[in-house]
Amino acid sequence: MRATEFEFRYRFWINGLIFWAAFSCYPIDHVNAAVAIAQWITGMSADLHSAHFRAVVQLVFASAAALTFAAAMIRTWGTAYLRSDVVHDLDLHNEALVADGPYRYVRNPLYFGTVLMGAGIGLMASRLGWFVLVILLYFFHRRLIGREEAELRKTQGESYETYCARVPRFWPAPWPRVAAGRMKPRWKQAFQGESLIWALAVVVAFFAVTLQQHAAYEGIGVALTVYAIVVFGLRRWRHKQAALPR
């Protein structure tokens, strides 16, 4: 199960299509995922005018925000060791094996964080939309992992095989599986590189407080637009810099 070069290069847009497909499920399933969970917890009908039911819905969305914040922190931790320009590059980098920070617990903390983010943000979709989002994200990122692992086996050989034998591929171990290295995390560039996930976590938290759906969707749209402009602007700048004569 290995992604093609096209899938890897355009993973940002494919992730966007997966989110779009999930949130487009509302015409098929009209019930919001968080509201369905609140109904299951309380045994009440969906009535946001009821103070008790509304409070439970807000707690469910607060849990969604917590998941999204956790995803942002996991991705930021991983990016601090891998570098944001590598994380968001269109090309696959397999020059070195990173086995420090979160990579001591799981081989793919960035992809795990993305699926965790989907589980959180997906509670703003319908019940069907939540399952579509989480399942498609999981299988797409398993394909991306398959491609990266194949390339790392070619370049890193036995050292990577040893690392794979000790550290789980996707689900983090409760304790580190390899000794800490000497790498120093670079937090500033990591937070900059993962700013979109932090912005989305803030949007979900805002929605948990207000339950204003249109404002939340507008916030997500603004965050995605700004992120796309910044990331692709920086990418063009790097390419121009690389083309300059030394």
How far apart are alpha carbons 26 and 20 in whole angstroms? 11
Asked whether residue 212 is domain-assigned, the answer is yes
Q: Of 22, 26, 61, 25, which Cα lies nearest the Cα of 41?
A: 61
Burial class (CB in 10 A: 0-12, 13-18, 19+), 214: exposed
At residue 49, the 3 state secondary structure works out as: coil
Range of the domain at 85: 5-90+98-178+189-243
Q: Which residue has the tokens 């319908």?
A: 126
> Does 184 fall in a domain?
no
CB atoms within 10 A of CB 45: 8
Q: Contact at 8 Å (CB) between 25 and 128?
A: yes
Any domain includes 150: yes
Kindly report, residue by residue over 105-146, the tens digit of the pLDDT. Answer: 999 999 999 999 999 999 999 999 999 999 999 999 999 999
Judge whether 35 lies within some domain: yes
pLDDT mean values, one per 10 residues, the chain (246 residues): 84 90 94 95 88 94 96 93 54 58 91 95 95 96 91 80 90 90 84 87 91 79 73 62 56
> Is residue 183 in a domain?
no
The Cα 95–Cα 48 span in angstroms is 53
The total domain count for the chain is 1
Establish if 118 belongs to a structural domain.
yes
pLDDT for the residue 86: 47
Is 116 inside any structural domain? Answer: yes
**Model-level pTM?**
0.86
CB-CB contact of 54 with 210 (8 Å): no
